[in-house]
Amino acid sequence: MTQPMPALEGGEPKAAGDEPPADVIPLSRADAARTLLERHRSGEREAFVELMKMFSAPVYSYLTRTGVRASDRDDLFQEVFCKVHRALQKKMPDGPVKPWVLRIAVNTARDHFRRTKVRSVVKLDADAGEAERPAPGADAELAARETARFLEAAIQQLPIAQREALLLASVAELGVKGAAEVLEVPTDTVKTRLRRARATLALAMQRREGSLR
């Protein structure tokens, strides 16, 4: 005798096997990051390589934009993940993985600046490569690139506290709350630093536009 198909909550029949196996349900990025930490702690070497790839862009971007010179970035990047590895030997992070990794990057950059006594603006690297000759009619694109370079330089001229808040909240997309957790300061402090940073950048842009007229 044919077995009846199980019914859905709404009363419609559902064939057996319609539910996807649990092992093929895609993980969110946050779940995937925590899974990589657990795999690394269990001894899988490949897991840490995957973890570095997952967070290479935000960490490298933070180091670059906070003012670490090109000659030091690779070493600092390696230092960040050495600290991640050592921290994982003790325990798993309590909260989300991305803010935890970025907190290590922030502290590593601070230590670097203290060691090298770099407390002022770090100029954009002169070895970024020769500028390509703009094609005819590419004035708008050239202007956009020049504006982007100007803003990158202006960000590096911000006080370190404002720079950290801006990069974490806006560039790393952690928001005010996430940046506050990474920096271990109240959210109102982050808001104040963001407001001052944006006001400084807006003023710099106004002065630049005035000088170009």
Do 101 and 160 lie in a common domain?
no
CATH code of 176's domain: 1.10.10.10
Question: Rounded distance, CA 21 to CA 26, Å?
Answer: 11
The confidence score (pLDDT) of residue 11 equals 44
Q: Does 53 reside within a domain?
A: yes
Question: Rounded distance, CA 207 to CA 9, Å?
Answer: 64
pLDDT tens digit sequence for 161-186: 999 999 999 888 899 999 999 999 99
Q: Does 134 reside within a domain?
A: no
Do 33 and 114 lie in a common domain?
yes
Determine how many CB atoms are found less than 10 A away from the CB of residue 176. 18
Question: Rounded distance, CA 32 to CA 100, Å?
Answer: 15
Number of domains in the chain: 2
5 pLDDT higher than 90: no
Alpha-carbon 3 to chain mean position: 54
For the question of whether the overall pTM of this predicted structure is more than 0.75, the answer is: no
Do 173 and 90 lie in a common domain?
no
pLDDT tens digit sequence for 103-140: 999 999 998 888 765 333 333 333 444 444 445 456 66
The whole domain housing 85 covers: 27-120
CATH code of 34's domain: 1.10.1740.10
Per-residue burial over 115-134, b = 16 or more CB atoms within 10 Å of its CB, e = otherwise: eeebeeeeebeeeeeeeeee
Question: Rounded distance, CA 88 to CA 44, Å?
Answer: 13
Local confidence band at 205 (pLDDT 50, 70, 90 cut-offs)? confident
Do 116 and 184 lie in a common domain?
no
Q: Does 76 reside within a domain?
A: yes
